[in-house]
Amino acid sequence: MRDLTKGKESSLILRFAAPMLLGNVFQQLYNVVDSIIVGNFIGKEALAAVGASFPIIFGFLSLIIGIASGSTIVIAQYFGAKDIEKVKRTINTLYIFLFVASIITSIIAIYFSEDLFRLLKLPEEIMPQAKTYFNIFMGGVVVSFGFNGTSAILRGLGDSKTPLYFLVLSTIINIVLDLLFVLVFKWGIAGVAIATVIAQGGAFLAAIIYLNKTHKIIRFSFNNLAFDKDIFLKSIRIGLPTGIQQTFVAVGMMALISIVNRFGTNVIAAFSVAARIDSLASLPAMNFSAALSTFVGQNIGAGKIDRVRSGFVATLKMSSIISILVSAGVLLFGDFIVRLFTSDPEVIRIGKEYLVIVGAFYIVFSSMFIISGVMRGAGDTLVPMFISLIALWVIRIPTAWILSKRIGETGIWWAIPIGWSVGLTLSYIYYKTGNWKRKSVI
């Protein structure tokens, strides 16, 4: 656990963000390794199937993850206020919510999987493999929620190192099982999904065993869990707007993939590869934002509002430098990176085209996320939700539709940074009003 209310802001945030960033790089390696193995050993149709599954998976998980993020902020603020009993009650309430929500989500997702793929106009040659991957993944979503929920709790307590260890363990298990199930057992795309579920389940079990024996606050036991309605309502107030925002983002991704699907297997496969690279490239911004949210939450809980602005400025500088370096790497080596996933020349060409257009604007995405991190840490998630929805549904999706009609799939790629630019502008305007400072739950 780490107290973020004392010490130099930039050093605290960097030390807190670094393990989270490294951990999430390992977590994204799940998807990257899956895609590399699928693209090279199963085929571009399977690669497209995995890519087509992701927006729907994210759609089902986003609402629950968003609500859970509210609990993380509540934990951070109670911990900053040194109210350990309420921290424990918040943790118990979160675990109960995640368990029930995961069972319901899994059942609904599997039942409607084929209908959703048809709604997105997925080509028939991709449908069987997409359904197989999606249904297996969603069948094991309870361990995914458990693992990510535990990591979120630890981050709220200022501990970003412990989740890293278990993410590394999970990634190693996943890579080994991917190779075993695909190359040795010849299970195809089903083997990739099974490997991911087993890896996350193993890491969750290892984390619980370790924390039960060593942690001062977290004690996971079904017998001792108790649901606190008042704390849950506080978490809902903070987390629900984020959950709704993430849900609409996920639906927006589905709308975007439905536009992509009109261009056939090559474009779908290229988009799948580029999206994996995009996910890795955006991790610094997302993790600095998450670290800043915990920093802001603890300092507001401790009544140290003066430290919030200096922490924001320091984080913005650090994330901007990293974003520029990431953009340079993607622009210089995009062709080589895409070739790791596939040898198909048309898929490589389209994937590189995406990275050249979108990769040049990572600093815009980074700045937008850092500003949102301040507001989320303060407990103000409603306005960021509306900003995100405007940037996505009013700007990005209509722009992608219009431009794709005129200049092909390239128009879809240009719509992404255009949406980011609008989101950044609106976020900065709201930050300057200072209204977010009055949203604390403490």
Mean pLDDT of 251-276: 90
Record the pTM. 0.75
Q: How far apart are CA 370 and CA 243, in angstroms?
A: 18
Q: How far apart are CA 415 and CA 399, in angstroms?
A: 5
pLDDT at 439: 63
The average confidence (pLDDT) of the chain is: 88
pLDDT per residue as tens digits for the range 314-372: 999 999 999 999 999 999 998 899 998 988 999 999 999 999 999 999 999 999 999 99
Instruction: Report residue 32's pLDDT band, with 50, 70 and 90 as the boundaries.
Output: confident
Our CA dihedral for 404, 407, 410, 415, rounded to 10 degrees, sits at: -50
Neighbours of 382 (CB within 10 A): 18
Instruction: Report residue 115's pLDDT band, with 50, 70 and 90 as the boundaries.
Output: very high
pLDDT at 67: 78
**Do 12 and 4 meet the contact criterion of CB atoms below 8 Å apart?**
yes
- Of all residues in the chain, the percent with pLDDT exceeding 70 is 98
pLDDT at 367: 96
Instruction: Report residue 441's pLDDT band, with 50, 70 and 90 as the boundaries.
Output: low
Residue 217 in this model has a pLDDT that exceeds 80: no
User: Which residues does 8 contact at the CB level (< 8 Å), separation at least 6?
Assistant: none
Residue 7 in this model has a pLDDT that exceeds 90: no
The sign of the CA dihedral 398, 399, 402, 407 is negative
Residue type for position 408? G
pLDDT at 30: 67
Residue 440 in this model has a pLDDT that exceeds 70: no
Mean pLDDT of 378-383: 81
User: Which range is least confidently modeled, 70-84, 86-100, 185-199?
Assistant: 70-84
End-to-end Cα distance, the chain? 20
Instruction: Report residue 234's pLDDT band, with 50, 70 and 90 as the boundaries.
Output: confident
Instruction: Report residue 249's pLDDT band, with 50, 70 and 90 as the boundaries.
Output: confident
Q: How far apart are CA 64 and CA 107, in angstroms?
A: 15
Give the residue among 280, 288, 285, 287 at the shortest CA–CA distance from 334: 280
Angstrom CA distances, 429 to 366, 370, 394, 395, stand at 16, 14, 18, 18
